[in-house]
Amino acid sequence: MHPEPRGATPIRFGFLLLPHFTLTAFSGLLDVLRLAGDEGDNSQPVRCSWQVIDETLALVRSSSGIQVVPSETLGDAGRFDYLIVVGGLLHTGLSLSTAQKAFIRQAAARNVNLVGVCTGVFALMQAGVMEGHRLCVSWFHYWDFIEQFPQADPDLIVADRVYVSDRGRITCSGGRASIDVAADILKRHMDEAIVYKALRILQVDDASRHTAPQPLPPGITPDTPTVVRRAILLMEQHVGQALSMDALAGKLNISVRQLERLFKESTGMGPQAYCRRLRLRMAAWMLTHSAKSIAAIASSCGFADASHLGREFKAVFNLSPGQWRSRAGSPATLLPGQFSGPADYISEVFPGRKEFY
């Protein structure tokens, strides 16, 4: 595709920033537009233009305290080619106003491309414009999403990749991945050399492909193959009902034999053994941090019953689940070396969470 000539209609972007939005997600995406949007280094909106919009022109506060002034009110959604909703903190409440919901729905009806960045995907779900579309959720907020939208089709939720594009909907896990999304969008409209120039200025060698995995699971080294990292993220998301090897390999678009080989080379064990390790680590955490019965914990972690959990648990920790629970807080609660650190890492990653569905 050739660059659009100067004077051609620019690609039009509207940014809807939700209260306590994530500044990195917003600024990373916007800077790619800025750098690719002009010839030279003048930051002029020649190839693309952008506006921050909202119901009013009141300041919108980011999660870091920096505030942004919208440049336009909502108006006609059809004036944009892309509507980008940037979310942020969930614990402060991520509720859309009636006007914001109506605007997002209007954009969908006018075939405007909708982009949900960070927890912006929650807003798109609230607006009711994601039905039947695959969507990307950060691994960090996967359980929050399941809890808030129990009606969502689990087969359409992706939390092992940095972003997903599906028929006019682009959803992104947030952070640095917003740069990947911006690059992907712009490559549809202009010469790739222009986009790569912008990435180089931002000190980004190349934008990740949409199949790139989200951040490393605990205990996994950076040189672990991408497909193994994605597989581990999928295992964590299905800890209560383990995927079959056929289903797991199918989601990764590889054969079971290839998946087993890569796991053995990377972790020293097969995928089924690794999955069992994850489930035992979750069980150890739940024994320490919840009042659930051992039978309930066994069910939550994908074991057939309390006896099944007990056999597996004692074989690894040399303690029964009941003994582990009674010694919570002692050195015994540190997992063996092959478990990559303490069971309590889950409390650090998911503070306040008590249920994993």
* Domains in the chain, CATH or no CATH each: 11-201 (3.40.50.880), 217-357 (1.10.10.60)
Q: How far is CA 59 from the centre of its chain?
A: 27
Torsion-angle region of residue 223: left (phi > 0), alpha (psi -120 to 50) or beta?
alpha
- pLDDT at residue 4 tops 90: no
Flag whether pLDDT at 55 surpasses 50: yes
| Lowest mean pLDDT, pick from 41-45, 207-211, 346-350 | 346-350
What's the rounded mean pLDDT across residues 173-179? Answer: 90
Is the model's pLDDT at 331 over the cut of 50? no
90 or 310, which is more confident?
310
Percent of the chain residues past pLDDT 70, beyond the cut: 85
Question: Looking at the DSSP assignment, which residues form a beta bridge with residue 50?
Answer: 13
- The contacts of residue 179 (CB under 8 Å, 6+ apart) are 28, 29, 31, 32, 199, 202, 204, 207
Task: Express each pLDDT in 269-326 by its tens digit.
Answer: 999 999 998 889 888 888 888 888 999 999 988 899 999 999 999 998 889 999 988 8
Residue 8 binned pLDDT confidence (cut-offs 50, 70, 90): low
- 8-state DSSP, 240: T
- 250: pLDDT strictly greater than 80: yes
Would you give the distance in Å from CA 21 to the centre of its chain?
Answer: 15
Does 36 have pLDDT greater than 50? Answer: yes
Q: What is the pLDDT of residue 7?
A: 44
- Determine the distance from the C-alpha atom of residue 99 to the mean position of all C-alpha atoms in its chain, rounded to a whole number: 27
- The runs of H, that is alpha helices, within the chain are 23-36, 98-109, 120-127, 142-148, 177-187, 192-201, 226-237, 245-252, 256-267, 271-289, 294-300, 306-317, 321-326, 345-349
Eight-state DSSP code of residue 340: -
CA–CA distance, 33 with 183 (Å, rounded to integer): 8
Q: Cα separations (Å) of 39 from 98, 169, 189, 243? A: 40, 29, 15, 50
Q: What Å distances lie between residue 114 and 23, 289, 293, 299, 300, CA to CA?
A: 19, 40, 44, 38, 35
For residue 17, which of 119, 105, 168 has the smallest C-alpha distance?
A: 119
Q: How many CB atoms lie within 10 A of CB 127?
A: 21
217, pLDDT greater than 90: no
- Give me the amino acid identity at 323: Q
pTM for this predicted structure: 0.72
Q: Give yes or no for residue 89 having a pLDDT over 60.
A: yes
- Integer CA distances (angstroms), 211 to 88, 164, 334, in order: 23, 8, 34
Query: pLDDT at residue 26 above 50?
Result: yes
Question: By C-alpha distance, which of 157, 199, 173 is closest to 36?
Answer: 199
> What is the rounded average pLDDT of the residues 198-210?
77
Per-residue pLDDT at 346: 59
* Residue 155 in this model has a pLDDT that exceeds 60: yes
Lowest mean per-residue pLDDT among 30-44, 88-102, 213-227, 265-279: 213-227
Q: How confident is the model at residue 213 (pLDDT cuts 50, 70, 90)?
A: low
